[in-house]
């Protein structure tokens, strides 16, 4: 099975030496057994289950978990470091998945693993972290919440829940080439300002940002990206920031497609000044008004 074996947290004595596996995780050694798991080999559910409509994890600000964030930590003699922040994290590598063997057991941050939820294990991202995972072979993407450590199998980047692997259509192969990109929800202190900007952008009061020829409807382009996964990640973040404003992705065809993320449509009389300020505060430096979706 693609997900490897998991490391016990219990200390074991060998010839007077105390060896402690500091963190649970998905590991590489298939020969190791652990009595706390009923199943020796990992697998999916016994009967077919339709998980195509399981929703993505919803990014939201969460403080670091009390468990699972010690750095450095050691598993099977190898030392790992936890990142101080997930800001700007984007990597490509191999994803695997883990399922029924670990279903109902504790994750590294002390939560209960649910193979039908959109979650994942990662060796170095802070717990919890929300990430978008894109299958580079078929273009499918999901948003998951990282709450576990692993996979400790050599060459693996992330271990996905059974549901997330189902959504990415990688169960049959067991592994997939993926891109993992962190999603950074704003701190709650920014919420009042963002909510105010959202309300003002949907009203006709205030000062409007002029648009060429004053069309009946207009869009605000937040950014343009070279990959569908990156555009989807930005879309997810914007939907969280500005819940009442529609977010669309417009694809520019060509030898190198460009995916443009836009807010709208908005009426030409809508106030955009506060919206632009909130977008810049959230890290979107160059929003601009455009006429087409």
Residue, of 97 and 187, whose pLDDT is higher:
97
Per-residue model confidence (pLDDT) at position 14: 37
Question: Confidence class of residue 122 from pLDDT cuts 50, 70 and 90?
Answer: very high
For tokens 């060896």, the residue is: 19
Domain ranges for the chain, please list them. 5-183, 188-290
Per-residue model confidence (pLDDT) at position 214: 40
CATH node for 188-290: 3.30.70.1070
What is the share, in percent, of the chain residues with pLDDT greater than 70? Answer: 74
Lowest average pLDDT, out of 29-38, 65-74, 121-130, 136-145, goes to 29-38
Which of 189, 182, 252 lies closest to 224, judged by CA? 252
CB atoms within 10 A of CB 106: 15
Averaged pLDDT for residues 115-130: 96
Question: Confidence class of residue 97 from pLDDT cuts 50, 70 and 90?
Answer: very high
Highest mean pLDDT among 25-39, 44-58, 84-98, 251-265: 84-98
Helices (H), 100-227: 162-167, 191-201
Burial of 120 (0-12, 13-18, 19+ CB in 10 A): buried
Residues 6+ apart with CB under 8 A from 239: 247
DSSP symbol at 155? T
Per-residue model confidence (pLDDT) at position 138: 92
User: What are the pLDDT digits (tens) for 191-239?
Assistant: 555 555 555 554 433 444 443 444 456 889 998 888 777 787 788 878 7
Structure tokens at 110: 């002390």
User: What are the pLDDT digits (tens) for 7-40?
Assistant: 434 343 333 333 333 333 443 333 334 556 778 8
Residue, of 258 and 177, whose pLDDT is higher:
177
Question: Thinking of the domain 5-183, which architecture would CATH place it in?
Answer: Beta Barrel (2.40)
Mean pLDDT of the chain: 78
Lowest average pLDDT, out of 115-129, 134-148, 244-258, goes to 244-258
Per-residue model confidence (pLDDT) at position 17: 31
Task: Tell me which H or E stretch contains 235.
Answer: helix 228-241
């Amino acid at each position: 099975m693609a997900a490897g074996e998991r490391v016990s947290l219990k200390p074991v004595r060998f010839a007077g030496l105390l060896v402690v596996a500091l963190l649970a995780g998905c590991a590489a050694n298939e020969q190791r057994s652990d009595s706390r798991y009923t199943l020796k080999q990992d697998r999916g559910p016994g009967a077919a289950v339709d998980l195509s409509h399981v929703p993505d994890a919803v990014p939201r600000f969460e403080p670091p978990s009390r468990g699972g964030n010690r750095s450095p930590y050691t598993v099977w003699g190898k030392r790992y470091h936890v990142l101080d922040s997930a800001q700007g994290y984007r990597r490509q590598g191999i994803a695997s998945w883990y399922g029924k063997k670990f279903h109902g057991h504790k994750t590294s941050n002390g939560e209960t693993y649910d193979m039908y939820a959109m979650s994942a294990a990662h060796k170095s991202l802070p717990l919890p972290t929300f990430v978008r995972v894109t299958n580079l072979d078929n273009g499918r993407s999901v948003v998951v919440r990282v709450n576990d450590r692993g996979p400790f199998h050599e060459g693996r980047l992330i271990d996905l829940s059974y549901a997330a692997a189902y959504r990415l259509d990688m169960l049959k192969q067991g592994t997939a080439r993926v891109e993992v990109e962190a999603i950074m929800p704003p701190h709650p202190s920014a919420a009042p300002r963002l909510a105010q900007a959202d309300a003002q952008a949907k009203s006709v009061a205030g000062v409007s940002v002029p648009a060429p020829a004053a069309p009946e409807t207009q869009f605000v382009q937040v950014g343009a990206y070279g990959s569908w996964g990156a555009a989807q990640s930005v879309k997810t973040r914007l939907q969280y920031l500005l819940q009442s404003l529609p977010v669309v992705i417009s694809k520019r065809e060509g030898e190198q497609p460009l995916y443009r993320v836009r807010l709208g449509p908005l009426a030409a009389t809508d106030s955009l000044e506060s919206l632009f300020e909130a977008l810049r505060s959230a890290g979107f430096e160059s929003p601009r008004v455009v006429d087409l979706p």
